[in-house]
Amino acid sequence: MTDSAVLPATERSATIPKQHRWLSVDVLRGLTIGFMIMVNNNGGGSAAYWAMKHTDWNGFTPTDLVFPTFLFLVGISTVFSTQARLAKGDSRSSLLGHTFRRAVILYLLGLVVNSFPFFHLATMRFYGVLPRIAICYLLVAVFYLYSSSWKDKAAAAVACLIGYWILMRFVPVPGFGVPTHQIPLLDKNANLAAWLDRQIFSPNHLYERVRDPEGLLSTIPAVATTLIGMLTGIWLRSTRSIVQKARAIALAGCAGLLGGGLWNFTFPVNKKLWTSSYVLYAAGWSLLLLALSIYLIDILPARRSPPASDAQMRKRYMILLVFGTNAIAAYVLSELLPGALNLIHPQPGVAFLRWFYLSILHFIPYAPMASMVYCILFVFVCWIPIYIMYRRRIFLKV
């Protein structure tokens, strides 16, 4: 973010028409949130299809792409929203205040999501998806507020990735030793990130008791993921043609896949530790998905005769836009709903959602398919109230 005191007038001016909204970004965000809800609520747990589960440790599945893609989109959206508010005349101080308020609200929402419906302080989780989004958003938004240059964002992202690699590879883990010497690199329990989380919180506050996938140290490379999104947002606002933008994004995606794949040999792709190779590899896929979305939504319809109107495109992709334009509301609802429903016990000792999955399994005895049906139905249930908000033009602005 920045203001008129920081940027020259030519930089403050939008480089694409004011009425142009990157519908492709909203659609990709909707797809990301929809898939996130599915994989977080697959019913069958370990019985679900492999693509619907996180990798146990090193490696990568489609599910491991969800969270980094959302952070990537946070970076893009920060550029767009900041420039939109600057164009309306908002000052840098007001934007700074808004950024802090939004980050605090996101973090508190994360605590609610983590603790609902019982809110036991002794087991409250202070890390999590929304807390990580809040921290990453706060850091990159304030960074952009004071400088809109792409060069320092790129330098910061590189510093985050290399710095995290140095910490995880060369710094001795107290009580265990030096990675690759006394202990294996990225040992599940004997790694610096897990050790640090155990020093800060007791096991009751950690998602996996001995470690947390959204822990403190791995926030460093997560910031890099968000900065890559911010760099993409800056590029999308450049004066290049949409075709040139999409082509460059696709090439950057291929470079990310190559870079992450090569780094994987010495610093494995690992979602739970958010390794630097994971950042590059996931960003590669996110960039390719964005390039494809831009081609399908911003380029291809414009080449048709007559070109598809914005209203036609919104109608065509309405199913995804419902989630994409109200992403935080959709995510929070999907996280609170299981806690509320599981207060109901249709059978003694069997919570509602477990009972519901077993009921599906009774009619579809193949567990992976039953899990898929379950998560699709769950997404649909979440989609209905968000659709009502969409039709009434109610958007949760944190």
- 298-349, pLDDT tens digit by residue? 999 888 888 888 888 999 999 999 999 999 999 999 999 999 999 999 999 9
CA-based radius of gyration for the chain: 22
pLDDT in the model for residue 13: 37
Biggest distance spanned by C-alpha atoms of the chain? 68
The Cβ-side half-sphere exposure at 92, using a 13 Å CA radius, reads 15
**Minimum mean pLDDT range among 60-69, 70-79, 295-304:** 295-304
Mean of pLDDT values over 219-241: 97
Q: Is the dihedral of CA 239, 242, 246, 248 positive or negative?
A: negative
pLDDT in the model for residue 12: 38
Residue boundaries of the structural domains of the chain: 9-391
Query: H helices within 88-211, ranges in order?
Result: 92-115, 129-146, 150-170, 192-200
Distance CA 236, CA 230 (A): 10
Closest CA to 33 of 271, 276, 334: 334
pLDDT in the model for residue 302: 84
- 189-213, pLDDT tens digit by residue? 999 999 999 999 999 999 999 999 9
pLDDT in the model for residue 19: 39
pLDDT in the model for residue 355: 95
Average pLDDT, the chain: 92
pLDDT at 184 over 60: yes
Contact 189, 210 (CB under 8 A): yes
pLDDT in the model for residue 14: 36
Query: H helices within the chain, ranges in order?
Result: 9-12, 23-40, 66-87, 92-115, 129-146, 150-170, 192-200, 219-236, 242-263, 276-294, 300-303, 310-316, 318-324, 327-341, 352-363, 367-391
- 264-301, pLDDT tens digit by residue? 999 999 999 999 999 999 999 999 999 999 999 999 98
- 17-48, pLDDT tens digit by residue? 443 578 999 999 999 999 999 999 988 778 89
Q: Tokens for 231, please give them.
A: 């760099």
Distance CA 96, CA 384 (A): 35
